[in-house]
Amino acid sequence: MDKYVIKGGNRLEGEVTISGAKNAAVALLPAVILADSTCIIENVPDISDVHLITDILLEMGATVKYLDKNTVEIDPREIDTNVVPYELAKRMRGSYYLIGALLGRTSSAAVPLPGGCDFGVRPIDQHLKGFTALGCEWTLEDGMIKVSADELKGANIYMDVVTVGATMNIILAAVKAKGRTVIENAAREPHIVDLANLLNTMGANISGAGTDVIKIRGVEALHGVTYSIIPDQIEAGTYMVAAAATGGDVTINNVTPKHLESISAKLEEMGVEIIEGDDSVRVVRKNPLIKCNVKTMPHPGFPTDMQPQITALLAIANGTSMVSESVWDDRFKYVNELKRMGAQITVDGKIAVVEGVNSLKGAPVKAVDLRAGVAMVIAGLVADGTTSIEDINHVERGYEDIVNKLVKLGADIHLNKSSESKAEKIG
């Protein structure tokens, strides 16, 4: 089993460049199947979730060619099926975006129930509510969601809860529907704006992305484009927290500082200096960390995808902090792993009370999901002694070249590949 092995105690210094946004890429790549010609998508993160999406498109008949490791050319014209391959799609959460994209392309889709991180129930009821409003019927058969319509027609859709996935999926389905669709109580995350910008560049008519009311007027056809994905705010936030945890001085390049405001605000509250540039942020910590309370909220609030990382940071802050999770159920599974390292954290439902300790101790731990895994990396960077992290496939889903990026900043971390992995690589 592959592991990260970290010797803690090194201060992070220098510069790191952020990759394209994982949460945008897993929706933008399915979106290209709506085009009637070739698309080139740039700033694609080199991560396993992206490779799964491109493998799915390839198996469905698309021509997929990597021009370099962060640029992919996709010609969707030869896709001749509305059925998404089961074994590939069940391994990732973002496979559900293929439902909306296929509905927009052919008015029908058959997609496996999504996989991905396991932290509580993540229903797609709001997705299905939106598809139904557009004129679809759906069934669940043999682990496949089958959705179809004689004709997609625009509708007014009110989201019962703010949900990023459903907002993006309904946009994908509605861009070629007859008439106008209005999504109320829509999510406002940057990657929703990125999806709308891509589709508008392809010829769609979408307004209001980034607000809670999105209006879509259906068009007859979408054309191929060249488009660059936005920087990953969660990857950027992760390196910001890592710099703060190690008492470091790190400049994080290729970011949109406005997307990071909620993260910057909490770090500043903890006594960390944040210096914004046009497309960079510099994170400097010279003094002990101060306790603070954090509540995750939909954008522009503090991101749920940064909750494990900030909790790892609060574990070494002076005083008692409280972390409230308002987006997902059961997202504190990783706390037991932090406690193995000496963290003092008590969880009650959706609230974690964090008693800061003077230091963490290296230990064998595991990544229970994507963001929890990188929280273990942050903990390992500051812990006394050696930390080994198993199940790192979760981390590889969302962080491009994380080991080398941290090594260049001065971390003592390496990937310890199992004999099985080495054999596969040699073979």
Enumerate the active-site residues: 117
Tell me, what amino acid is at 257?
Answer: P
- Maximum Cα interatomic distance, the chain, rounded to a whole number of Å: 63
For 192, phi then psi, to 5°, come to -70, -40
Reference 103, options 65, 74, 132; nearest CA is: 132
* Distance (Å, whole) CA 76 – CA 35: 7
* Distance (Å, whole) CA 193 – CA 208: 9
Question: In 3-state terms, what secondary structure has residue 354?
Answer: strand
The structure tokens listed for 314 are 């609060």
Q: Using N-to-C axis directions, what is the helix angle for 22-31 and 97-106, rounded to 10°?
A: 20
Length of the chain: 427
* Distance (Å, whole) CA 253 – CA 78: 38
β-strands 226-228, 39-42: how paired? parallel
The CB density around residue 162, as the number of other CB atoms within 10 Å, is 18
- In the chain, the N- to C-terminal Cα span, in Å, equals 17
The structure tokens listed for 370 are 């994507």
Q: Do residues 74 and 41 touch, judged by C-beta distance below 8 A?
A: yes
The angle at the Cα of 409, spanning 301 to 6, to the nearest 5 degrees, equals: 90
* Distance (Å, whole) CA 205 – CA 228: 19
* Distance (Å, whole) CA 162 – CA 171: 14
For 160, phi then psi, to 5°, come to -65, -30
